A and B are shown apart, each in its own frame.
Chain A
Amino acid sequence: MAMPLKSLGRRAVLAGLPVLLTPPLSWHRSAQAAVRRLEVVAPWELRGLEPAQSGFVFHRMQIAEALVGTDLRGALAPALASRWAVDPDQTTWRFTLRSGAKFHDGTPVTAASVVSALERARSGGGALRDAPITHIRDDGETVVIVTSRPFAPLPAYLADFSAIILAPAAYGGDGQVRELLGTGPYRLSGREGTRRIEAEAVPEAALGIRYTAYTAVPEAETRALMLQGGQADAAMTLSPAAWERLARAGFDMWLAAIPRVRVLKVNAAHPAFASLALRRAISLGIDRVAIARSVLRSPDLAATQLLPPGLAEWHRADLAPLRYDPVEARRLIEAAGYARRRDGLYAKDGRTLGFELFTYPERPELPPMAEAIQAQLRELGLEVTLRLGDSSAVVQGHRDGTLQAALIARNFSLLPDPIGTIAADFRTGGAWGAMNWQDRDLAAAIERYESTFDASEAADVRRSIVALLHHHLPTIPISWFDHRVGFSARISGAVVDPLERSYAIDRLAWRS
């Protein structure tokens, strides 16, 4: 008897269900096995396998290493290179590789493979392309790097996550990374697109945590709830409200000051910022403590100078702190020839004193901070209009000269030494730094700092760089950053890297 059409259809659907359901679930079939996995949740998803794009994830999860690393105080430390030194010519560096180091495919780490990886990093989009390297070569088990001029911060550039060293077999025929074969104590065991990676400890590493995973969770509240609900063991970059809630609930919460700063990037060719007096007036007209208290829930984050105390070498306690003083601000504005109108705004020669302030919502605290700055400066007597967009508009506006001012978040720990960012931003005015402003003394100081190998001379030059930036205000600091992290009670040994370069998973263990 012929099967009725309806029955055939129903059976076909039932037969097809496992096929329909299999693809999205099969990735986690291995995870369904009973393994105790450390779950790390953070905002940033992978942007492919290229070190310049996603190296920060693999470095933080200790899957890949660079030649140079950092310790938990932020100081440079050996990684794949056990030691390094510079020749008397001060341009030839020699990095000795760690003995017995192997890639995750079992092949030994050789100077040749390191040279190949570094050449790739130089030609890519990472920080290494900004270092004045002329050539890199191997010399036995030593990697030799030659710079075009004495360049003391070179090891810091080699610590950049884009300079992680991968095995030759990691690259496909097209030169793209097709497999993440690093040298870290954990090796990549699974990846789901750009959202999740899983790793396991290499057999020879005696680690407290055997299996780990990193999941990109864009929403801060979701990350907090995952920690609270037991789905995550470490939650990065929590909001102040969620952090306080979890702290009250007894979770292991950490607050680390990190070298990221929210600053007002200004166009020094614009009338509102053309003179130092006006830049100082605007700085004096911003109540940073009020903004830090109301928006960031931490008045201590109000910036008193560019870099926070946590970067001890780059913070000068003897400098007069940036302060809120609207009386002095008005005096400076009036001394510059501006007169206050009946509407409360200052004007000169028929032109109102004011500017357009741009910011971006990719960092959610920036728009409300911009609104607060607008209100405070309005009270002072400046007309500030707000514009929102995406962060790349800051670079575009800098490039075409249309940017007037922008409230941005700037990371001074892109490299372990802030000089990398300072040089990019203030020597000739990088896209995120000074705009239409240069200072010969500052440029000279930066060059001296880069070329000196004498620690005490470097310390003196650092002090003068900090003082010059504080005095001239090419960018106006507003607030520093707190890095808010939470850990579950299931783990012990948690610690937070102030440079956000590692999650220090090798120090963790399960509580019995």
Chain B
Amino acid sequence: MWSAAARLGQGLAVGLVVALLCFAFVETLPGDQALRLAAARFGEDLTDPSRAELVRRELGLERPWPVRLLAWLAALAEGDLGRSAVSRERVAGLLAAYGARSALLAAVALALSLVFAVPIGLLSALHPGGVVDRAAAAFSAFTVSLPSFVRALALMLPFAVELRWFPVAGFGQPSHLVLPATTVALALAAVSSRALRHAVVAEREAAHQAFLAWQGLGLAARVLPHGVRGVAIPMVALLSVQAVHVIDGVAVVETVFAYPGLGLLVVRALLARDLPVIQGVGLVVGAAMAAIGMVADIATRLLDPRQVEASWRRA
């Protein structure tokens, strides 16, 4: 319990540090933040010094940065993430809406990636160096090297435009998730199928598997209780890294599919120097990264009894 609480606190601290770094980053950017915000609010055509002053006075941007930072921290202590400097919508609401969509996209993409990766990885591992293994390696290298917008268009054109099986872009219905999730899943599966293949091969060649075979255990008896755990441990670590990547960094896919997730939100906020949103995203993503790491650690401990025994010995 104490360990979980400590990890939770760690996660929040990471989020806070990320948010503070975001503040420092935006403050050091060249140019006038008020002008940039005025452009985001009113459009480039109406951007002029007088509208920038309007924004500067409204948001208190003329205050020194320590004052603004302390004000943000004080509001955060009361659970208030503030309002977007552009749209004036509550940052918490924006994060909930965009974050939920990103989480959904991430979950579906990860699940789909496993649907692609597991059979490919297992088939490749059956005969390392064989035709299937080499074809899978080539396919993985090809898929990973494709820019995400090319993957997106390669799926969009046949399945959405020609066959009309799925919507081209947008959000709100389950069908809107399929193509963006598949676009992301293909890249994830390209990596995780190879990782699974290597993990399975390593597990097959491990000394304990040879010992179990010598003891007369059949394949199922060796693989299911012992082999799966050995393979799952590195895969859990990989999936946690991929989960963080998907939640945080699929802005290109979200742009092409007009899917409003966190990637799109943070890119728009960065271009507009919408500091409350940038800090809010930093806080949430930082905390999410720590939370995902914690979940991965717990899963690894459940899978690997050696880690539990080691922690008991340390205690």
Contacts and interface: CB of A to CB of B under 8 A. Distances in A.
B170 A231 contact: yes
Interface stretch (B120-128, B139-147, B256-264): B256-264
B39 A193 contact: no
A46 interface: yes
Given A20-B104, A225-B160, A48 B172 contact: no
Nearest to B166: A229
Interface residues of B, number: 56
Contacts of B164: 229-230
Contacts of B41: 47-48, 52-53, 125
Interface stretch (B47-55, B224-232, B237-245): B47-55
Contacts of B32: 392, 396
A228 B32 CA distance: 41
B244 to A, nearest CB: 18
Contacts of A222: 156, 168-169, 256-258
A410 B35 contact: no
A379 interface: no
A431 interface: yes
B161 interface: yes
Which has the most chain B C-beta neighbours within 10 Å: A27, A430, A431? A431
Interface stretch (B6-14, B85-93, B210-218, B286-294): B85-93
A475 B86 CA distance: 31
A276 interface: no
A225 B88 contact: no
A229 B168 contact: yes
A338 interface: no
Nearest to B103: A20
A395 B35 contact: yes
A50 interface: yes
Chain B interface main SS type: helix
Q: Which of A45, A392, A409, A431: most chain B CB closer than 10 A?
A: A392
A432 to B, nearest CB: 7
A163 interface: no
A48 B88 contact: yes
Nearest to A45: B268
Interface centre among B43, B153, B164 (most CB of A within 10 A): B43
Interface stretch (B18-26, B69-77, B94-102, B184-192): B94-102
A21 B171 CA distance: 13
A463 interface: no
Contacts of B98: 193
A396 B31 contact: yes
Interface in A106-152: 124-127, 129
Q: Counting chain A CB atoms within 10 Å of each CB, which of B47, B107, B271 scores highest?
A: B47
Between B45, B84, B98, the greatest number of chain A beta carbons within 10 A of the residue's beta carbon is seen for: B45
A126 B260 contact: no
B285 interface: no
B283 interface: no
Contacts of A435: none
B62 interface: no
B167 interface: yes
B296 interface: no
A392 B39 contact: yes
Interface stretch (A89-97, A212-220, A263-271, A341-349): A212-220
B174 interface: yes
A416 to B, nearest CB: 14
B44 interface: yes
A32 interface: yes
Nearest to B33: A392
Given A222-B256, A395-B52, A396-B31, A192 B42 contact: no
Contact of A218 (B87, B173, B258): B258
Contacts of B50: 129
A361 to B, nearest CB: 10
A195 B260 contact: yes
Nearest to A215: B170
Contacts of A414: 45-46
Interface string B268-286: 1001000000000000000
Contact of A216 (B101, B104, B160, B258): B258
Nearest to A409: B44
A125 B156 contact: no
Contacts of A290: none
Given A193-B94, A219-B256, A362 B87 contact: no
A28 interface: yes
B42 A431 contact: no
A12 interface: no
Contact of B161 (A193, A228, A392): A228
B38 interface: yes
A392 B84 CA distance: 19
Contacts of B160: 225, 229, 231
Of A20, A192, A390, which is in contact with the most chain B CB atoms at under 10 Å from its CB? A390
Nearest to A160: B46
A393 interface: yes
A25 B174 contact: yes
A176 B256 contact: no
B157 interface: yes
Contact of B169 (A46, A217, A396, A399): A217
Contacts of B260: 192-195
Given A193-B94, A215-B170, A226-B168, A395 B87 contact: no
B187 to A, nearest CB: 19
Interface in B111-167: 153, 156-157, 160-161, 164, 167
Contacts of B97: 23-24, 192-193
A408 B121 CA distance: 52
A252 to B, nearest CB: 18
Nearest to A260: B45
B110 interface: no
Nearest to A44: B43
B26 to A, nearest CB: 13
Contact of B104 (A21, A192, A219, A391): A21
Nearest to A195: B260
A53 B87 contact: yes
Most chain A beta-carbon neighbours within 10 Å: one of B38, B50, B161, B174: B161
A352 interface: no
A48 B41 CA distance: 9
Given A24-B100, A193-B89, A392 B36 contact: yes
User: Which of A32, A196, A229 has the most CB atoms of chain B within a 10 A radius of its CB?
Assistant: A229
10 contacts: A53-B42, A194-B87, A195-B171, A221-B256, A225-B160, A225-B168, A229-B160, A231-B169, A390-B39, A396-B31
Given A50-B88, A229-B168, A391-B47, 12 more contacts: A31-B172, A46-B87, A47-B86, A124-B54, A125-B55, A129-B50, A218-B258, A219-B256, A231-B170, A391-B39, A392-B39, A395-B35
Interface of A: 20-21, 23-25, 27-28, 31-32, 45-48, 50, 52-53, 56, 124-127, 129, 176, 192-196, 215-219, 221-222, 225-226, 228-231, 362, 389-393, 395-396, 399, 409-411, 414, 421, 424, 430-432
Interface of B: 31-32, 35-36, 38-52, 54-55, 84, 86-89, 94, 96-98, 100-101, 103-104, 107, 153, 156-157, 160-161, 164, 167-174, 255-258, 260, 268, 271
The 4 closest A-B pairs by CB, nearest first: A28-B172, A48-B87, A229-B161, A392-B35
